[in-house]
Structure 1
């Protein structure tokens, strides 16, 4: 998240949340942190907010009534009555503790924070943040000892690596607020307790999520399903990845019919892709529209994961950016080894 220099950290409280199935405790703090040190406040703000992608927005949900979503209700109380901050943080910690029963859930510090002047679009709003640190790192501390120096080790939290976070903007309350989420640990389907069980959030069906989901779908199909269903060379996979990414970079709007015709070409590949899309949506519990506006930020984010490198043993890495017709593959009769022939005009 950018532009956080103006953010005001109004209050933070820390609770210790364990895993009840391992006999670990829930230990509640009696009071919020004393934020007299401006440097500490700035470091906490960076730790809390630095990892969020403000374009990737969610909202609170509930199967029957939004008011029954516990986190939504407790956060609303903090917005409406800031004096209840500590009491509501304890209720949030209790609820998280009750949802931390999976065997892979780790004990950690649970922070509840109240912010003001958080950038949101073209304005600045209040926000409540929920964060959990599960990973500890070892640090060396050098200190003076008489006429010499000594070194000890300490365990602590890396402020550049937020494990789990949720930032709730005071916007669009009636639809479950606007929420940003971070979850870099326990990404397996059975351990997503932070997003599914605790927060109970779903992504907004907007252009960012449609673009992001469709590019993830394409990447998974091309790298996993495509080579299993069809006999294709690695260079053909990379070519299809390039064509998919080029479509999203060059167009302003997405059309399923146009995309499959221009990128997939062959009917049997299109049929396989459409079947994969149906299964992908079902497995991910999402619905990707057939037409939507392409979001530039989502394209830039996904481009990092589109690997277009052809790795040949441990000797060569060939970066392929286009023009599959200028690559020829064959087998050398003398050595029996495979080869690629690259046709080009000049080198640089």
Structure 2
């Protein structure tokens, strides 16, 4: 978890990055921003840091050649942490580098903010952090102000909403040898061009801790049930929902995940168990991420995954059946007279 209530913004440089393929350029400021307004630092902290307090995933820098020094942002961050006097010069280098990797024609230009924070807390430890933030989306705001005995209205275009950070990265001065601890925000990651922030610019890999082990295992199992099972077995949607519900029940009721215990309790079929283990192994090879057969379960990851675990059986456009418990209380059949499928649901009382 990240907490910023003690954080102090000590340095800030602002530049602009355009899109090279659109014949736009970058603009570098000559010196760090000097802030004299008493309210502005608090607003900037809110804009830069608020969204990170809801982030649980922690990343690390990496390089395909297994040499961290070849990762440009790792190198720049290390330079700032070891020599804060080079902060502004390094912020200019970071801007030039982002410009070089902004090679997709749909990448939006925008302001780039490089910030240095003291006393920001991550996972219970106070440390310094280097922040890299980019604003791409501008909005129009109405302003109401008193005039004479009434009010007047005006507007401001191309303004920034401090509740909506487009892109950001916090690099914490912890565990340098392992690639630092890094938290990332990317609000435009639904589009193909947006991967440049995390993959091309920062070059990150997710940290393999209990949060990500829990999240990945639940995600793999969900994909296995919803996509893979149909290839190997004939299984109804109600049975799929039951398998998902049983897996979520296991993760909510246990503190530790054990692959054999989970497989026997939740899947309970030798062929299904073997199929799931092979599916998990394929995922690990494809994404070069090893998930151990035993790990501590993260409550935060379970809570997040429970939002996307669907327990709804959709029947045409007429009915939705929510299945939360014993699937033996629901039966499927076929009515010859109507030539339609039906479900029979057993219950003791209405609530």
Number of residue pairs matched by the alignment: 348
Aligned-residue offset at 1:144: 6.2
The equivalent residue for 1:61 is 62
What is the CA–CA distance in structure 2 between the aligned matches of 1:140 and 1:330, rounded to whole Å? 59
Match 1:181 to one of 169, 184, 193:
184
Is residue 2:198 matched to residue 1:195? yes
Aligned-residue offset at 1:2: 5.4
What is the CA–CA distance in structure 1 between the aligned matches of 2:139 and 2:289, rounded to whole Å? 36
Secondary structure of residue in 2 paired with 1:36: coil
The equivalent residue for 1:10 is 10
What is the CA–CA distance in structure 1 between the aligned matches of 2:198 and 2:224, rounded to whole Å? 25
Unaligned runs of 5+ in 2: none
The equivalent residue for 1:292 is 295
What is the CA–CA distance in structure 2 between the aligned matches of 1:338 and 1:3, rounded to whole Å? 53
TM-score normalized by the length of structure 2: 0.89
What is the CA–CA distance in structure 1 between the aligned matches of 2:252 and 2:206, rounded to whole Å? 23
Match 2:267 to one of 264, 284, 287:
264
Per-residue Cα deviation, 1:281-332 (whole angstroms, up to 9, x for no partner): 3333322222222122211121111122223333333322121111112233
Q: Mapping of 1:69-218 within 5 angstroms?
A: 69-142=71-144, 149-152=152-155, 154-187=157-190, 191-218=194-221
Per-residue Cα deviation, 1:2-36 (whole angstroms, up to 9, x for no partner): 54222111122222112212212111122333333
* Cα pair 2:106 2:193 within 8 Å, conserved: no
What is the CA–CA distance in structure 2 between the aligned matches of 1:274 and 1:242, rounded to whole Å? 19
Is residue 2:317 matched to residue 1:314? yes
Going from structure 1 to structure 2, the CA distance change for 1:258 and 1:196 (only over 3 Å counts) comes to same
Aligned-residue offset at 1:187: 4.4
* Cα pair 1:207 1:295 within 8 Å, conserved: yes
Pairwise CA RMSD: 2.4
Going from structure 1 to structure 2, the CA distance change for 1:261 and 1:138 (only over 3 Å counts) comes to farther
TM-score normalized by the length of structure 1: 0.90
What is the CA–CA distance in structure 2 between the aligned matches of 1:287 and 1:157, rounded to whole Å? 41
Match 2:243 to one of 240, 244, 263:
240
Secondary structure of residue in 2 paired with 1:85: helix
Unaligned runs of 5+ in 1: none
What is the CA–CA distance in structure 2 between the aligned matches of 1:167 and 1:220, rounded to whole Å? 31
* Cα pair 1:104 1:186 within 8 Å, conserved: no
* Cα pair 2:2 2:122 within 8 Å, conserved: no
Is residue 2:47 matched to residue 1:47? yes
What is the CA–CA distance in structure 2 between the aligned matches of 1:116 and 1:284, rounded to whole Å? 35
The equivalent residue for 1:226 is 229
Secondary structure of residue in 1 paired with 2:51: coil
Aligned-residue offset at 1:190: 6.8
* Cα pair 1:141 1:154 within 8 Å, conserved: no
What is the CA–CA distance in structure 1 between the aligned matches of 2:339 and 2:144, rounded to whole Å? 59
What is the CA–CA distance in structure 2 between the aligned matches of 1:206 and 1:186, rounded to whole Å? 23
Secondary structure of residue in 2 paired with 1:59: strand
